[in-house]
Copies of this chain bind each other. A is one copy, B any other.
Amino acid sequence: MAAARAGAEELGNHNDCLVRLSNPNVAAMKEDILYHFNLSTGTHDFPAMFGDVKFVCVGGSPSRMKTFIKYIGTELGLDCPGVDYPNICAGTDRYAMYKAGPVLSISHGMGIPSISIMLHELIKLLYHARCSNVTVIRIGTSGGIGLEPGSVVLTRQALDACFRPEFEQIVLGKRVVRSTDLDEQLVLELMQCSVELSEFPTVVGNTMCTLDFYEGQARLDGALCSYTEKDKQAYLQAAYAAGIRNIEMESLAFAAMCRACGLRAAVVCVAYLDRLEGDQISSPHDVLAEYEQRPQRLVAHFIKKRLSKAQVPS
């Protein structure tokens, strides 16, 4: 029962692995307004609302994150007849947030700046709520490189558009670089879950994160493009050679910020298309909708497994 005991210890001890900030100022603030969530420590009881959160799942689209909370609520047996999951951030349309038991589901919009605002406020929310042992997983969509469409990629390392595992920011006009390493153990656990499910192809690979969907990802079909098909293929082949299996727009900031605040984090994205074959997302709507569910099914399996381990008496 070594595995079960480890799970129980991991989830059971509330003094262990409290969410921490990398900012001494927040502890001294009388009130903290999380503006883009429309929540404030002055008007909301964060420990009561969020103190039991152990899993945070994030994704770009608000409707996808609503779909996910209903799905995980059903999977965890938390549904109440006639009761919907309300949007906790209903007072704003910047982000949507839902909760089912120990699972929080939040949208982050598209791109590094959008997810970075969300993560600053999420990490402060978890800190104010005195949460411990929290795992954060991005369930997203992406373009694949050399993969069958519908494949799921578990990110080993988030790389920038020059294939470096670095998140570069400008802070007070100066360059600051942070590491984008993700939790290796979590990747192994998620891969094991995919093997158990055996429903769709899953690979572990590096994920390239870009600031633009068209030129930034070597697409030929944007409003601007100054390179050829041959240039594009050479770039994507070089990315493949660097271990990159998919391209999205949030993983660098996600990996760097979670790491800096001691949160275990994983990125689980489905690939909608193989970018070596084309640029446009032209699969029928129902095919894309089924692809979109794959990271959700994998992560739901993972959460159920973690929770069942935590409940086994040691």
Contact = CB atoms under 8 A, between A and B. Distances in A.
A223 B162 contact: no
Contact of A171 (B113, B119, B123, B227): B227
Contacts of A123: 223
A224 to B, nearest CB: 4
A33 B23 CA distance: 44
A226 B22 contact: yes
Contact of A173 (B110, B112, B211, B235): B235
A221 B169 contact: no
A114 B120 contact: no
Contacts of A113: 110-114, 210-213, 216, 249
A210 to B, nearest CB: 7
Most buried by B among A220, A222, A238, A261: A222
A46 interface: no
Interface in A24-81: 24-26, 29, 31-33, 35-36, 60-63
A127 interface: yes
Interface residues of A, number: 70
B172 A257 contact: no
A194 B23 CA distance: 41
Interface of A: 21-26, 29, 31-33, 35-36, 60-63, 93-94, 109-114, 116-117, 119-121, 123-124, 127, 160-163, 169-173, 176, 210-216, 218, 220-227, 231-232, 234-235, 238, 249, 257, 260-261, 280-282
Given A61-B93, A111-B111, 14 more contacts: A22-B223, A33-B282, A36-B110, A61-B94, A109-B114, A111-B112, A111-B113, A111-B117, A113-B210, A113-B211, A116-B211, A119-B223, A171-B215, A171-B226
